[in-house]
Amino acid sequence: MKKFLLLIAGLLCIAASAQTIAVKAGKLVDTDSGTVRSNVIVLINSEDGRIKAVGTDVAIPPGTKVINLSNKTVLPGLIDCHTHLVGDANDLDPLSELHKTSAQRAFESIPNARKTLLAGFTTVRDVGTYRALVDVALRDAIARGDVVGPRMYVAGAYITITGGAGALTGFAPDITLPWDLHYGEANSPWEVRQRVRLLANQGVDLIKILATGAVLTHGSNPGAEEFTPEELNAAVDEARKFGLRVAAHAHGAQGIKNAIRAGVASIEHGTLLDDEGIALMKQHGTYLVADIYDKEYIQGEGKRRGEPLDFLQHDANLGAAQRQNFRKAVQAGVKIAFGTDAGVYPHGDNAKQFAWMVRYGQTPMQAIQAATISAADLLGHKDELGSIAPGKHADLIAVDGDPTQDVTLLEHVKFVMKDGKVFKQE
């Protein structure tokens, strides 16, 4: 009898876990076709977290759990291709890394991950942490369900020259850093290959390389080249062997072009992108990931809180140029993926960038596609992410009103589902 009851309980469990969920969408943004559809039903298998069927005439099987979003617009979960979840906008000085252990960094990143997911970003491409591999640990904790956060694709560390844009600089020369604060430091093509191999062995999802100087690094000149073309070529070639793509931080025009020619998947920032660079990006199919919102935060909040003046001056000079060059790239038809540099501004405000992308040349639908289907393409997971289609991850968000008319509605996401699990419903 006891055995029988256990069997029944087991069967009930299986029936419940195999349950189908039906989401009734009043409107649905179809990012594949760039259209908005009405009265669409999305069937989800809650067991594997995948979408089973999408359509206006999909039958809802008996016993299905129904989520009624018929007064809302449903979109695929948003993707931010440039975040630093292990990072804090209250603390932009890289030297502050010396005040904290990697364990402190890891625990501090937990609320960042939660805020990002609840803001509607179900996936992020996280492009670097000063404490190496904390991002790998966070990615895995989220994947296990221990931490609430977006699906993460991580870089593990910054591959940078000594004293470069991804290095800790500004401390006395007799200070020896722990291994994880200079894990990605490399100064020749062979050292670059070695770093790529180490990171690949640690299970990273992409390689982040710093092709030029940076804004938020002491004594760094954003316009200056750092890695040579030989080193950039080595990074892309070595990463390719492990099936990894390379994201290149690049502000200066020559560094941008060196990285494109080396075959990187994306140019991050692209601040001083010139006409030749735009032509090269089109020719190579390189994505532009331009963080054109964060200037608002850095200039406003940064000044108020007394951020280092050399950071602010760099940023003010470059911000205006970056936005104009973003507009040029959009007009030329360069591939655009949404990326914000979250961590430089407070986590969870990612969607504030949509308005800037529209102000600088994209339609709202194009900006949404940059954060969905194009971002998925840049990640190399277009078959699994970026649109609401059978077989893909059941990552769905919903807003009031029509974000293809008013893109700022995405700053107020009311519903978040990741892998068929509801994390927010207002």
Supply the minimum distance, in Å, between the C-beta of residue 144 and Zn ion: 26
Q: Which is nearer to Zn ion, 81 or 365 (CB)?
A: 81
Which string of x and - marks every residue 325-344 that binds Zn ion (by CB under 5 A)? ----------------x---
394 close to 420: Cβ distance less than 8 angstroms: yes
Supply the minimum distance, in Å, between the C-beta of residue 341 and Zn ion: 4
Q: Which is nearer to Zn ion, 180 or 341 (CB)?
A: 341
Supply the minimum distance, in Å, between the C-beta of residue 361 and Zn ion: 22
Q: In 3D, which of 153, 208, 217, 216 has the Cα closest to residue 186?
A: 208
Supply the minimum distance, in Å, between the C-beta of residue 214 and Zn ion: 8
Supply the minimum distance, in Å, between the C-beta of residue 403 and Zn ion: 26
Task: Quote the CA–CA distance of 52 and 285 in Å, as a whole number.
Answer: 32
Q: Which is nearer to Zn ion, 69 or 357 (CB)?
A: 357
Supply the minimum distance, in Å, between the C-beta of residue 347 and Zn ion: 13
210 close to 256: Cβ distance less than 8 angstroms: no
Q: In 3D, which of 105, 113, 123, 130 has the Cα closest to residue 214?
A: 130
How do 266-269 and 287-289 pair as beta strands? parallel
Task: Quote the CA–CA distance of 98 and 91 in Å, as a whole number.
Answer: 12
Supply the minimum distance, in Å, between the C-beta of residue 25 and Zn ion: 34
**199 Cβ contact partners less than 8 Å away, ≥ 6 residues apart:** 155, 156, 157, 159, 183, 184, 207
Supply the minimum distance, in Å, between the C-beta of residue 68 and Zn ion: 39
Q: Which is nearer to Zn ion, 205 or 341 (CB)?
A: 341
Task: Quote the CA–CA distance of 15 and 77 in Å, as a whole number.
Answer: 27
Which string of x and - marks every residue 284-323 that binds Zn ion (by CB under 5 A)? ----------------------------------------
Q: Which is nearer to Zn ion, 212 or 404 (CB)?
A: 212
Q: What are the C-alpha distances in Å from 397 to residues 23, 122, 372, 388?
A: 11, 9, 12, 10
3-state secondary structure of 284: helix
Considering only residues 182 to 221 of the shown chain, the ones binding Zn ion according to CB under 5 A are none
Q: Does 80 bind Zn ion (CB under 5 A)?
A: no
Which residue's CB comes closest to Zn ion? 341
- Side by side, the strands of the sheet bearing 78-83 are 78-83, 121-126, 151-154
Classify residue 346 as left (phi > 0), alpha (psi -120 to 50) or beta. Answer: beta
Q: Which is nearer to Zn ion, 341 or 419 (CB)?
A: 341
Which string of x and - marks every residue 339-368 that binds Zn ion (by CB under 5 A)? --x---------------------------
Q: Which is nearer to Zn ion, 32 or 91 (CB)?
A: 91
Q: What are the C-alpha distances in Å from 194 to residues 219, 225, 362, 398?
A: 27, 21, 40, 44
Q: Which is nearer to Zn ion, 31 or 217 (CB)?
A: 217
Binding-site size, Zn ion (CB under 5 A): 1
Q: Which residues bind Zn ion (CB under 5 A)?
A: 341
